[in-house]
Amino acid sequence: MSTSPGGIDPAAPTVIAGPRAAASAASPVVELRGVGKTFGAPGGKAGARPVEALTGVDLAIERGEFVSLIGPSGCGKSTLLRIIGDLTPTTAGAVTVNGKAAARARQDRDYGMVFQAPVLFDWRTVQKNVELPLEVTGRPRQEREAKALAMLELVELADFTGHHPWQLSGGMQQRVAIARALALDPAILLMDEPFGALDEMTRERMNLELLRIWERTGTTVVFVTHSIPEAVFLSTRVVVMSARPGRITNIVPVDLPRTRGVETRELERYFELVTEVRESLRGTEGGSDGPGVPPARVRVEGLSA
């Protein structure tokens, strides 16, 4: 389970364990130490066996990073994302975001959330949907309108401010959701399979668009996905997870050129990285689960959108 393919300095600390993280000078945006999550813990329904969704997760994410979480269904990658965003409480370990507890970070509105579905409000126009977080935080109207328009320009939907979500295509709706997530200038953008429901062509274009937005805003992104090519194409690091119990099994640094385009997908290094992530996924599943899922199936799961 090597994290150092050719060309990468093996010494570069990509997995930061607890003590080392504390020692590092620049504090990471997100820091997870020994994070665990057990569903149906004592005190829940009688007879329900507790399910260990996550265990012993250590991860540090630096400012400006684009980190993908990838793994088979049920590996807890979405749960991990929700834990970072303080939408789900942990049952073990500590989550620090911007140097404070996750709950505090949520109160400070450090997060931007994008889900698999756009979750736009039907009754609001595109413009008003993007203004929503600004309304909630009580910004004055002029600032709201200007900011929302700027965000819509960023996702290239400035011509659609007066439309309602149900008048847009799926890809456009998801772009509105991204604009909305960015409206509060969040320190960290949490994306839970944001392009999972889109067709392949729209998805590839959305990937390019997201990279462009990420470069322009400099936000830190945590990105949950099922798709290996997508994870490799977008990320600076790919975090590979395995199921039962959910945990991090490998972290693959992506050393592709920072500016990526269509041609990136044709680079040899890209294919090598895709293969490496794929093999990590296969390895984790086969090694730990005994009579678990056969490797071939894991690969299919990993690739499916």
Binding site for another protein (CB under 8 A): 85, 87, 106-109, 111-113, 115, 117, 119, 121-125, 132-133, 135-137, 156, 163-164, 166-169, 171-172, 184, 201-202, 205, 208-209, 212, 261-263
What gap in Å lies between CA 257 and CA 68, rounded to an integer? Answer: 17
Find where tokens 């390019």 sit. Answer: 208
Shortest CB 177 distance to another protein, Å: 9
Find where tokens 């990320």 sit. Answer: 235
Structure tokens at 76: 């807890």
> Are the beta carbons of 233 and 273 closer than 8 angstroms?
no
Nearer to another protein, 92 or 158 (CB): 158
What gap in Å lies between CA 188 and CA 109, rounded to an integer? Answer: 10
> Are the beta carbons of 127 and 149 closer than 8 angstroms?
yes
Nearer to another protein, 9 or 159 (CB): 159
What gap in Å lies between CA 60 and CA 303, rounded to an integer? Answer: 26
Nearer to another protein, 266 or 268 (CB): 266
What count of other Cβ atoms lies within 10 Å of the Cβ of residue 100? 14
Omega within 30 of 0 (cis) for the link into 245: yes
What gap in Å lies between CA 45 and CA 48, rounded to an integer? Answer: 6
Shortest CB 217 distance to another protein, Å: 16
Shortest CB 30 distance to another protein, Å: 15
Nearer to another protein, 87 or 101 (CB): 87
Shortest CB 125 distance to another protein, Å: 8
Nearer to another protein, 171 or 246 (CB): 171
Nearer to another protein, 16 or 97 (CB): 97
CA 247 to chain centre: 16
Nearer to another protein, 124 or 299 (CB): 124
**Backbone conformation region of residue 290, classed left if phi is above 0, alpha if psi is from -120 to 50, else beta:** left
Shortest CB 145 distance to another protein, Å: 17
Shortest CB 157 distance to another protein, Å: 10
Helix axes of 170-182 and 200-217: crossing angle, nearest 10 degrees: 20
Look at residue 36 and give its three-state secondary structure.
strand
Shortest CB 283 distance to another protein, Å: 33
